[in-house]
């Protein structure tokens, strides 16, 4: 028998294993959990080379997995001013002026996490930010990363001076033929991004490695990284060979409406690629955009008459692409915020079928038609939900998202509990850098449906999860979603040795206090990647 490398003792183990839900200790050898039990039994297994960590009463859970994140795009894209907490126009302009002060003359001012609601009075326009950035080129990404606001000089440098046509549902927003500075969806955003200076590949790699360390420090042991290309596989190989892959990563290939079919074939050939801590084999699609900009695909138009278009000009091509990948054993992932988008994804999955053991999934599901709700369980489609996205919703429904959807659809917003009770698998995630990646915030949001510490009653809080369900969304649910239900998401002999330790039990800790509960140890694959 392999010698035990690492033993955790004197803890409270919340194993999520029905065979043995509670224990105080576990043993790890060669990246696998070999035993779970009482302190004495586990100490008996330890040899002279075993590292024994006394948890001192802290709670160990299966390693936490964020099922929807953009770790690499975020590590490189979320640069400059962090605007996630800037909820008034004055806050935004103040943060931009401060960021501008840190930049050299002529340097691009960048920022991310912009709130659509701060432009309620002014409209989204370059002229609102031009002074704050001192006339410099500036590119600010909205919180959902689906819209970019460029300053006037950024538009000029990028040569964006009027409307453009795109293969996808993207737009250079113009008034009387002149761009306002608002660029909707990637194809439009890229017009400005290409004019910005690029970090070197080595700098990008360092940014990605540093970000993975940050994930480990908040207790994450795995993520489903929601965008990828063949280059992402190279990045993963390089990170793993340098010992920097401290998070398990499942990486999909993103299929855009204009991705050529030769590329589908190239991705299909790479479907089986994997390392020790990462794998491919997933295809990601967007069927729509976001409710806030009117690009979410809705059964009925929103209050501004938007929401009637798919992200795919030819939806049949989306259906063919899903069928192509599903028939090659891929898991398919579809971003769908609007109820029409969700329905289209469910219809498409039903047609395409899935390889044995593969569950397709739908991301966000911000509003859903009642008749489509039971289809998740019936079809075995995972509901991947991000409760932190509710932080922009006002309980009185005066925010942009709620005004666009109106009361009746708001009543069907983020139906997490109904989906769970219908028998659907729920996977939770942050969608970082859309929301903060800390899983303590993610679990709190699923329980509170509002930011922690706010006193206002949560909107639609009958859909809240309890502490155990929130933890399951980050462990067992996420593991099932990733096709790893046998090996991840539980602390049990034979499972991969991914463990998160917090000072207090994340299930019993009050949701408002959860974010301040220290993470004390993170173990991935038997390796201590944080604390210890
Ligand atoms: Zn996303």
What's the predicted TM-score (pTM) here? 0.88
- pLDDT on residue 493: 98
Tally of CA atoms within 13 A in the half-sphere of 125 that contains its CB: 10
Tens digits of per-residue pLDDT, 154-173? 999 999 999 999 988 899 99
Tens digits of per-residue pLDDT, 344-364? 999 999 999 999 999 999 999
Tens digits of per-residue pLDDT, 70-123? 999 888 888 899 998 899 999 999 999 999 999 999 899 999 989 998 999 999
Please name the residues in contact with 312: beta carbons below 8 A apart, sequence gap of 6 or more.
168, 169, 257, 287, 318
Nearest C-alpha neighbor of 84 from the set 110, 111, 109, 113: 113
Sheet-wide strand order for 527-531: 22-23, 12-14, 59-62, 499-502, 519-524, 527-531
User: What's the rounded Cα separation, in Å, for the pair 227 and 229?
Assistant: 7
- pLDDT on residue 198: 85
pLDDT band at 393 (very low <50, low <70, confident <90, very high): confident
Tens digits of per-residue pLDDT, 260-301? 999 999 999 999 999 999 999 999 999 999 999 999 999 999
- CA 505 – ligand 1 centroid, Å: 29
Residue 150 CB coordination number (10 Å):
29
Tens digits of per-residue pLDDT, 30-45? 999 999 999 999 999 9
Task: End-to-end CA distance of the chain: give it in Å, rounded.
Answer: 25
Tens digits of per-residue pLDDT, 181-224? 999 999 999 999 999 988 899 999 999 999 999 999 999 999 99
- CA 186 – ligand 1 centroid, Å: 13
Q: Are 187 and 168 in contact (CB under 8 A)?
A: yes
pLDDT band at 56 (very low <50, low <70, confident <90, very high): very high
- CA 117 – ligand 1 centroid, Å: 20
- CA 260 – ligand 1 centroid, Å: 22
Kindly list the protein residues that place their beta carbon closer than 5 angstroms to ligand 1, a single-atom ion: 226, 431
- pLDDT on residue 1: 59
CA distances from 19 to 32, 188, 475, 490 (A): 18, 53, 17, 11
- CA 77 – ligand 1 centroid, Å: 13
For the chain, percent helix, then strand, then coil, each to nearest 5? Answer: 35, 25, 45
Nearest C-alpha neighbor of 391 from the set 459, 291, 297: 459
CA distances from 473 to 56, 77, 418, 442, 465 (A): 26, 27, 14, 10, 10
- CA 149 – ligand 1 centroid, Å: 19
Element (H, E) at 418: helix 416-421
Please name the residues in contact with 479: beta carbons below 8 A apart, sequence gap of 6 or more.
62, 65, 485, 487, 488, 489, 490
- What average pLDDT does this structure show over 52-61? 98
Share of the chain above pLDDT 90, in %: 86
Is the predicted pLDDT of residue 461 greater than 80, yes or no? Answer: no
- CA 5 – ligand 1 centroid, Å: 37
pLDDT band at 459 (very low <50, low <70, confident <90, very high): low
DSSP secondary structure code for residue 116 in this structure: G
Structure tokens at 166: 């795109």
- CA 28 – ligand 1 centroid, Å: 34
- What average pLDDT does this structure show over 294-317? 95
Is the predicted pLDDT of residue 143 greater than 90, yes or no? Answer: no
- CA 33 – ligand 1 centroid, Å: 32
- pLDDT on residue 252: 96
* 478 three-class SS: helix
- CA 223 – ligand 1 centroid, Å: 12
- CA 290 – ligand 1 centroid, Å: 11
DSSP per residue over 247-288, as a string? SEEEEEEE--TT--HHHHHHHHHTTT-B-SSEEEEEEEEES-
- CA 286 – ligand 1 centroid, Å: 9
- pLDDT on residue 25: 98
- What average pLDDT does this structure show over 11-16? 98
Q: Are 511 and 444 in contact (CB under 8 A)?
A: yes
Is the predicted pLDDT of residue 457 greater than 70, yes or no? Answer: no
- pLDDT on residue 77: 82
- CA 68 – ligand 1 centroid, Å: 6
- What average pLDDT does this structure show over 503-517? 95
- pLDDT on residue 458: 64
- CA 227 – ligand 1 centroid, Å: 8
Nearest C-alpha neighbor of 288 from the set 330, 235, 341: 341
């Amino acid at each position: 028998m392999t010698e035990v490398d690492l033993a955790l003792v004197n803890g409270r183990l919340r194993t999520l294993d029905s065979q043995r839900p509670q224990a105080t200790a576990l043993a790890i050898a060669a990246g696998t959990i070999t035993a779970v039990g009482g302190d004495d039994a586990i100490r008996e297994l330890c040899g002279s080379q075993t590292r024994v960590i006394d948890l001192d009463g802290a709670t160990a859970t299966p390693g936490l997995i964020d099922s929807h994140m953009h770790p690499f795009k975020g590590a490189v894209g979320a640069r400059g001013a962090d605007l996630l907490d800037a909820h008034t126009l004055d806050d935004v302009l103040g943060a931009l002026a401060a960021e501008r002060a840190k930049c050299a003359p002529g340097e691009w001012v960048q920022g991310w996490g912009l709130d659509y609601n701060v432009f309620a009075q002014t409209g989204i326009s370059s002229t609102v930010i031009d002074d704050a950035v001192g006339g410099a080129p500036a590119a600010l990404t909205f919180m959902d990363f689906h819209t970019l606001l460029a300053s006037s000089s950024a538009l000029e440098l990028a040569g964006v001076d009027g409307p453009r046509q795109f293969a996808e549902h993207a737009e250079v927003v113009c008034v009387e033929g002149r761009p306002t500075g608002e660029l909707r969806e990637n194809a439009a955003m890229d017009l400005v991004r290409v004019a910005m200076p690029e970090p070197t590949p080595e700098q990008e790699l360092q940014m990605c490695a540093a970000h993975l360390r940050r994930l480990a420090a908040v207790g994450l042991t795995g993520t489903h990284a929601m965008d990828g290309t063949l280059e992402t596989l190279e990045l993963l190989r390089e990170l793993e060979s340098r010992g920097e892959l401290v998070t398990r990563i499942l990486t999909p290939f993103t299929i855009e409406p204009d991705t050529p079919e030769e590329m589908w074939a190239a991705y299909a050939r790479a479907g089986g690629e994997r390392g020790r801590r990462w794998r491919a084999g997933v295809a990601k699609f967007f069927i729509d955009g976001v409710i806030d900009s009117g690009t979410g695909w809705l059964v009925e138009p929103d209050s501004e008459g938007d929401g009637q278009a798919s992200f795919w000009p030819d939806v049949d091509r989306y259906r063919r692409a899903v069928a192509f990948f599903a028939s090659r054993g891929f898991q398919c992932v579809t971003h769908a915020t609007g109820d029409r988008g969700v329905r289209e994804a469910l219809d498409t999955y039903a047609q395409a079928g899935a390889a044995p053991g593969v569950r397709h999934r739908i991301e966000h599901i911000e509003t859903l038609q009642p008749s489509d709700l039971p289809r998740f369980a019936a079809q075995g489609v995972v509901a991947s939900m991000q409760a932190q996205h509710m932080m922009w919703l006002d309980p009185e429904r005066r925010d942009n998202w709620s005004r666009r959807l109106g009361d009746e659809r708001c009543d069907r917003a983020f139906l997490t509990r109904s989906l769970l009770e219908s028998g659907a698998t729920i996977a939770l995630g942050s969608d970082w850098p859309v929301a903060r990646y800390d899983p303590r915030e993610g679990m709190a949001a699923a329980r509170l449906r509002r930011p922690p510490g706010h006193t206002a009653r949560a909107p639609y809080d009958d859909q809240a999860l309890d502490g155990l369900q929130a933890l399951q969304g980050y462990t067992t649910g996420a593991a099932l979603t990733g096709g790893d239900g046998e090996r991840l998401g539980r602390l049990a002999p034979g499972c991969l040795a991914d463990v998160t330790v917090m000072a207090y039990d994340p299930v019993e800790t009050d949701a408002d206090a959860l974010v301040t509960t220290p993470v004390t140890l993170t173990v991935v694959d038997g390796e201590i990647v944080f604390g210890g």
